[in-house]
Amino acid sequence: MTTAATDAREAAASLRRVAAQLGAHSLGTYWRSPAKDACEAELVDLERAAKTAARKLEIWADQEGAASARAQSL
Amino acid sequence: MSNGLIITTPGMLWVSADDIVALASAIHQVARDIEAVHGVVSRITVSERDPFTEALRSVPALSLHPISVALGEMVREADSLGVALDRYASETADQERWRISSWEVPRERLLTLMTVIVGRGDVAEAARNGDVSHAARALLGNAGPHWVRVDAVGGGESAVIRATSIAGRVGRIPEGDTPIRVERYQTAPGVWESDVYIAGTQDWGLGSSTDPFDMESNLALVAGVSAASLVAVHAAMRKAGVRSSDRVHYVGHSQGGLLASRVAESGRYVTGSVLTVGAPLGTAPASGEYPALAIAHTDDLVPGLAGAREPTGRTIVETHSGSAPLDVAAAHSREGYLHTAERVDESPARDSFPEWQGSQGEAVTFSARRERG
């Protein structure tokens, strides 16, 4: 595995941890307000974005690993 | 964590939204974590590719650039969310203060409306002037002496383990036909403590009910005069064997809370503590010589029915019940307060109350019936 692919995988793992942390948080059920709803929606969006970026980095790392292996074999 | 409770102790008010503040802090840290990832990704250099092999790919190679751009955007969003949460915590505190103050007037209007329905001009005038206790007294008229019969139910005493938490105590407040529960514990040879649990209003009738825990007693207590339910509590305590030297801990819901406060202040027994939920305490005093904790939902109408709150020696915990808007019954229910009491047990307000030992004692529950003299 190339350094670039390894870095990308580690970055993806970091983003997965961030997503898990975001998913574990809650604003509780006692307060109700539009501001709270907006904050909760942003929290969900951020978690989803972190998962998406992590997935893309993992795909990129796979592709980079494969491309690098091909380049070395030629 | 005080989990969004508003805690007022004698001399100070603080709104704790520390769970939100903690989340804001965590989000700021998340922003720094994503920023670090962004830095790593932006430094990744792609290995040299063979153009011929690349040309044969069925799927185009994924570029890192859009991912890097997305990560930069996420950093900005996380920072923005952290700031929004900080602001939200602060605004929540302000809103809750406003909500509490804004409920006071509608509550007094409600009493005025009630008296107008009853049709007593003198009562309505007193209520309009904001003197709730005078209005209650005018509405009540001369109630005369109270004849109350109190009976132990369920064969008398039963063994019980003392409730040690706020929630455990709120959960023992009786309901229905047995509005009073007295538990006695021997804490040392010859030394007894009693826990007295008092239910809220059981009958909303005025002047026609046989239940002493009715609206008439409510008005009498707010008016500061003797009430049939107060007579019932004293009688039940006497029947349970509570002595004037006993240290007594009172727990009451709604009218039961007001009763608890009145008996505690009577000086007839040594007051150990007073815990009330959803009680219309208004100007009811709390001398400050014993720990007193009042829990009130900001969407519960009942705590404000006794008029504007005067500064006293009690600690007050206020929070929204979480009930649907205008569901006043749920906001006032004992079950709703039980849920809030569990949160209070986890809050700093718990520290202002005694730590009880879970010792074994005896419990008696009492029925009470008004008998017309």
Interchain contact A62–B (C-beta under 8 A): no
* The pLDDT value given to residue B16: 46
CA of B59: which chain A residue's CA is closest?
Answer: A63
Handedness of CA B347, B350, B352, B355 (dihedral sign): negative
* The pLDDT value given to residue B14: 42
* The pLDDT value given to residue B211: 86
Tell me the chain B residues in contact with residue A32 when contact means C-beta distances shorter than 8 Å.
320
Interchain contact A60–B (C-beta under 8 A): yes
Between chains, do B92 and A28 touch, taking CB under 8 Å as contact? Answer: no
Higher pLDDT, B309 or A16: A16
* The pLDDT value given to residue B11: 44
CA dist B157 and B155 (Å) reads 7
Interchain contact A66–B (C-beta under 8 A): no
DSSP string, B207-222: SS-S-SSBHHHHHHHH
B365 DSSP β-pair partners: B153, B181
- For A11, which of B4, B41, B84 is closest by C-beta distance? B41
| The two structure tokens encoding residue B42 | 């932006």
Collapsing DSSP to helix, strand or coil, A30 comes out as: coil
* The pLDDT value given to residue B12: 43
Which of the four pLDDT bands, split at 50, 70 and 90, describes residue A54? very high
Between chains, do B88 and A36 touch, taking CB under 8 Å as contact? Answer: yes
Higher pLDDT, B79 or A31: B79
- For A71, which of B23, B37, B47 is closest by C-beta distance? B47
Q: How high does pLDDT run on average in chain A?
A: 82
Look up the ipTM and state it: 0.88
B139 DSSP β-pair partners: none
CA distance A11 to chain B (A): 5
Collapsing DSSP to helix, strand or coil, B366 comes out as: strand
Q: Cα separations (Å) of B330 from A53, B5, B278, B318, B367?
A: 44, 18, 11, 16, 25
pTM equals: 0.59
| Low-confidence stretches of chain B (pLDDT beneath 50) | 1-3, 11-16, 103-105, 108, 116-117, 119-120, 123
- For B48, which of A17, A25, A71 is closest by C-beta distance? A71
CA dist B129 and B292 (Å) reads 30
- For A53, which of B48, B70, B78 is closest by C-beta distance? B70
Q: Are B282 and B342 in contact (CB under 8 A)?
A: no
Pairing state of beta strands B292-297 and B315-319?
Answer: parallel
Range A31-37 contact pairs with CB under 8 angstroms and sequence separation of 24 or more: A31/B4, A31/B92, A31/B320, A32/B320, A33/B88, A33/B92, A33/B95, A35/B84, A35/B87, A35/B88, A35/B91, A36/B88
Interchain contact A55–B (C-beta under 8 A): no
Chain A interface, best mutation among B2, B15, B20, B34, by max A CB count within 10 A: B34
CA of A32: which chain B residue's CA is closest?
Answer: B322
Chain segment B146-194, per-residue pLDDT in tens: 678 889 998 778 899 999 999 999 999 998 889 999 999 998 898 999 9
CB pairs below 8 Å between A and B: how many?
114
Q: Are B197 and B174 in contact (CB under 8 A)?
A: yes
Higher pLDDT, A40 or B291: B291
CA of A74: which chain B residue's CA is closest?
Answer: B50
CA distance B347 to chain A (A): 15
Measure the CA angle with vertex B154, ends B149 and B160; round to 5°.
Answer: 115
Tell me the chain A residues in contact with residue B66 when contact means C-beta distances shorter than 8 Å.
56
